[in-house]
C-alpha cells in the first residue's frame, strides 16, 4: 500500500476512494480499522471512521489507531479526509485530529484544503464557498449537528488547533506547484503548521497535489486528492464494474437542501414514505412492517426523514440533539438490515450519518470502488450479491436515486 487515508465518515471516504480510483490507483475502502493485513494489490487504503461528530478524544484515538494500521501496510504518505463543507464547530475535532496525526508523523506544512470544484466547493482568500455563496449562507448554517456560521477557514479552525493557522493565497496557487511549495515553506518559517490553501479549479488541486509529493500528511476534502495518484506513477483509466440485478431500495436521513430536492423529485415518481422523527424516537414505528413495504414495492421505493431545518430544531429542542440523532440512525440501520435479510441487493442511502448507520447495520467491512454515479459518489460493491451507494447530503443531481439504481445495476 502506498497512500494511507483516514476519513471521518463513510460517505466522505467513498468520495475520496472514488477520486483515487479515477486517478488510476487500486483503492479499497475499509469500514473501521481492519483486523488483518490488506490485500497486496491495494495501492490506496481508505479507513472510514464514524468520527465526525464524536468527542475530540474519541476522534483522535480512532484516527491514531487507523494511522498505525496504515503505517503497518507500508504507506509512505497519509491523507486525513473531512467534508468539503468542513463540517465542525468551535469544539470540533478536525483541528485536534490534524494536530495528532501531524505529531505522530512529525509533519509540518500540513495542507488544509476542503475545495471540490466539481461539486461547487471552492476556497478563495481563505474562505469556503458553495458555488457563488459563502458557506455560512449556503444552508450549512442550519446543519443539525455541525452548523457552519463562519466561512473563514482560518478563523473557524483556530479554536480547534494548538498551532497557528497559515494561508497560501490563490495568486500563488495559480502560478503552479513550484510557487505553492515556496509559499508553503514561507508559511512554515512564519510559524504556521496547518496551512489553508486556496483552490477554485481542478487545475489548482492538481498543482497542490504535485506540490505535496514529499509531504507526509495532507488534509482536506477529496478534491485535493486529484493530484496524488500521479505522484505514485498512476494514470487515469476506467474503473472495472459488474452490475448487480435484484431489488433496490433507497433510505434518506439527510435534511440538506440538495437531498430534500432529490426526495421531492423521487417521491413524485416512485413509492415513498416519510418517517416522522417523533414516531421513531418514541418507538411507534414497526421496522418489520416498513421493511416489508419497501420489499413489496415496484421501482425504487424510498423511506425518508428529511425534514426542513425548523422541524429538525423543534425535534431537537423537545428530545435533545443526541437522543434524536441516535434514534434516527439506529432506525435506518435496522431497516437496512431487515431489507437486506429480505433480499434487497441494491441499497442507496443519503446523508453522512444515515450512511454510516446503514454500513454499521449491514456490518460491511470492505467496499470495492466502482464507477461514479455523481461527482463524489461512487458505486460500491459490498458483497458478491450486494452493492450500495453512500451519498453525502449535499451531493448529487435531483434524479440521484434513479441514477444510482441504474448504475448499481450496470445499466
What confidence score (pLDDT) does residue 144 get?
66
At 112 the three-state DSSP class reads strand
Last residue within a domain, chosen from 231, 259, 294: 231
Q: Based on the domain organization, do 217 and 259 belong to the same domain?
A: no
Last residue of a domain, which of 181, 200, 231? 231
Residues 281 and 386 in one domain: yes
Domain count of the fold of the chain:
2
Q: Find the CATH number of the domain harbouring 385.
A: 3.40.980.20
Q: What is the pLDDT of residue 124?
A: 96
Distance CA 224, CA 242 (A): 28
Same domain, 227 and 260: no
- Residue 336 inside a domain? The answer is yes
At 39-59, the pLDDT tens digits run 999 999 999 999 988 899 999
The pTM of this model reads 0.85
pLDDT at site 38: 94
Per-position b or e across 302-312, b if 16+ CB within 10 A of its CB: bbbbbbebeeb
Q: Do residues 254 and 212 share a domain?
A: no
**Distance (Å, rounded) from C-alpha 146 to C-alpha 313?**
13
Q: What is the pLDDT of residue 359?
A: 93
Instruction: Note the pLDDT of residue 387.
Output: 98
Residue 239 lies in a domain: no
End-to-end, the C-alpha distance of the chain in Å comes to: 32
For residue 242, tell me if it sits in a domain: no
Task: Report the b/e string of 374-408 with b at 16+ CB within 10 A.
Answer: bbbbbbbbbbeebbbbbbbbbbbeeebbbbbbebb
pLDDT tens track for 319-366: 887 788 888 899 999 999 999 999 999 999 998 888 989 999 999 999
Q: Is 69 left (phi over 0), alpha (psi -120 to 50) or beta?
A: alpha
Asked if the structure places residue 240 within a domain, the reply is: no
Range of the domain at 174: 3-231
> Residue ranges of the chain with pLDDT lower than 70?
144-145, 307, 309
CATH classification of the domain holding 40: 3.40.50.10840
Amino acid at each position: 500500500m502506498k497512500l494511507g487515508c483516514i476519513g471521518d465518515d463513510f460517505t466522505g471516504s467513498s468520495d475520496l476512494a472514488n477520486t483515487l480510483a479515477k486517478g488510476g490507483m487500486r483503492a479499497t475502502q475499509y469500514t473501521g480499522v481492519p483486523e488483518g493485513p490488506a490485500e497486496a494489490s491495494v495501492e490506496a487504503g481508505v479507513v472510514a471512521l464514524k468520527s465526525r461528530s464524536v468527542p475530540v478524544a474519541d476522534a483522535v484515538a480512532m484516527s491514531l489507531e487507523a494511522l498505525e494500521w496504515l503505517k503497518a501496510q507500508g504507506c509512505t504518505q497519509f491523507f486525513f479526509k473531512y467534508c468539503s463543507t468542513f463540517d465542525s464547530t468551535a469544539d470540533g475535532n478536525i483541528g485536534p485530529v490534524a494536530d495528532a496525526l501531524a505529531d505522530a508523523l512529525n509533519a509540518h506544512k500540513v495542507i488544509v484544503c476542503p475545495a471540490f470544484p466539481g461539486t461547487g466547493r471552492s476556497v478563495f482568500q481563505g474562505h469556503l464557498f458553495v458555488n457563488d455563496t459563502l458557506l455560512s449562507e449556503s444552508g450549512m448554517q442550519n446543519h443539525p449537528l455541525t452548523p457552519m456560521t463562519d466561512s473563514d477557514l482560518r478563523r473557524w479552525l483556530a479554536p480547534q488547533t494548538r498551532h497557528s493557522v497559515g494561508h497560501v493565497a490563490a495568486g500563488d496557487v495559480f502560478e503552479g506547484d513550484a510557487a505553492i511549495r515556496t509559499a508553503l515553506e514561507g508559511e512554515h518559517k512564519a510559524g504556521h503548521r496547518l496551512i489553508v490553501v486556496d483552490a477554485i479549479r481542478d487545475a489548482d488541486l492538481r498543482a497542490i497535489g504535485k506540490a505535496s509529493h514529499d509531504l507526509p500528511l495532507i488534509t482536506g476534502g477529496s478534491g485535493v486528492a486529484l493530484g496524488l495518484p500521479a505522484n505514485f506513477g498512476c494514470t487515469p483509466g476506467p474503473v472495472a464494474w459488474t452490475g448487480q440485478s435484484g431489488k433496490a431500495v433507497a433510505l434518506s436521513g439527510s435534511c440538506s437542501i440538495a437531498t430534500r430536492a432529490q426526495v421531492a423529485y423521487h417521491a413524485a415518481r416512485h413509492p415513498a414514505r416519510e418517517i416522522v422523527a417523533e414516531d421513531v424516537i418514541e418507538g411507534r414505528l414497526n421496522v418489520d412492517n416498513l421493511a416489508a413495504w419497501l420489499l413489496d414495492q415496484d421501482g425504487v421505493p424510498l423511506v425518508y426523514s428529511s425534514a426542513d431545518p425548523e422541524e429538525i430544531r423543534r425535534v431537537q429542542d423537545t428530545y435533545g440533539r443526541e437522543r434524536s440523532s441516535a434514534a434516527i440512525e439506529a432506525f435506518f440501520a435496522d431497516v437496512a438490515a431487515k431489507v437486506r435479510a429480505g433480499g434487497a441487493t441494491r441499497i442507496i442511502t443519503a446523508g453522512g450519518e444515515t450512511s454510516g448507520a446503514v454500513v454499521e447495520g449491514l456490518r460491511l467491512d470492505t467496499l470495492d470502488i466502482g464507477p461514479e454515479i455523481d461527482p463524489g459518489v461512487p458505486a460500491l460493491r459490498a458483497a458478491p450479491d450486494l452493492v450500495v451507494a453512500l451519498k453525502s447530503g449535499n451531493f448529487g443531481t435531483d434524479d440521484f436515486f434513479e441514477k444510482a439504481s441504474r448504475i448499481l445495476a450496470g445499466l
